Amino acid sequence: MEVQRKQCMYCGSVIHGRSDKKFCNDNCRSSYNNQHKDEEGDQVKTINHILRSNRKVLMAILEDGVETVKVPKERLAQLGFNFKYHTHHFPHSPSKNFWFCFDYGFLDYYNGWILVVRDMGESYLESLNKLVSSH
């Protein structure tokens, strides 16, 4: 007969007793749970930080009263924009989206240029789509 040696998910000790046990005791269980709660919190904090700093970059480019600004994509990278993270998107064309970090976003325009925009609601973005034709 095969004996399954289960290990505690926290400390790695071999667990004796019921086969559905995952931890050797309540201390290990709560330590494990606390550790994982923190990891999740850190991830969320890190990504929130990136999203907020992305928003600041876009905000710095769009001055007050200006609705859209065309800038080279590398300018955003220079300012520390992280293209991996965004909060939502809005379709521009079958192949392109506006990508937003909260209320600020951008469209991959053409030839390395991007268009920085504000999210002022769906009807605004619909009308922006008609004004802006990307290639």
Alpha-carbon span 121 to 107, nearest angstrom? 15
Alpha-carbon span 38 to 26, nearest angstrom? 18
Please tell me whether residue 51 binds Zn ion under the rule CB under 5 A. no
Find the shortest distance in angstroms from Cβ 28 to Zn ion. Answer: 3
Please tell me whether residue 117 binds Zn ion under the rule CB under 5 A. no
Amino acid type, 123? S
Helix ranges, the chain (H): 26-61, 73-78, 122-131
Between residues 8 and 59, which has the closer beta carbon with respect to Zn ion?
Answer: 8
Considering only the stretches 24-32, 50-58, 80-88, 112-120, report the one whose residues sit in contact with Zn ion under the rule CB under 5 A: 24-32
Question: Looking up tokens 């937003």, which residue turns up?
Answer: 100
Find the shortest distance in angstroms from Cβ 71 to Zn ion. Answer: 54
Interacting residue with Zn ion among 6, 8, 62, 68 (CB under 5 A): 8
Considering only the stretches 23-31, 52-60, 75-83, 89-97, report the one whose residues sit in contact with Zn ion under the rule CB under 5 A: 23-31
Size (the chain), residues: 135
Please tell me whether residue 24 binds Zn ion under the rule CB under 5 A. yes
Between residues 11 and 51, which has the closer beta carbon with respect to Zn ion?
Answer: 11
Alpha-carbon span 107 to 73, nearest angstrom? 10
Take residue 14 and report the two structure tokens written for it: 């071999």
Interface of this chain with Zn ion, residues 25 to 44, rule: CB under 5 A:
28
DSSP 17: S
Contacts to Zn ion by CB under 5 A: 8, 10-11, 13, 24, 28
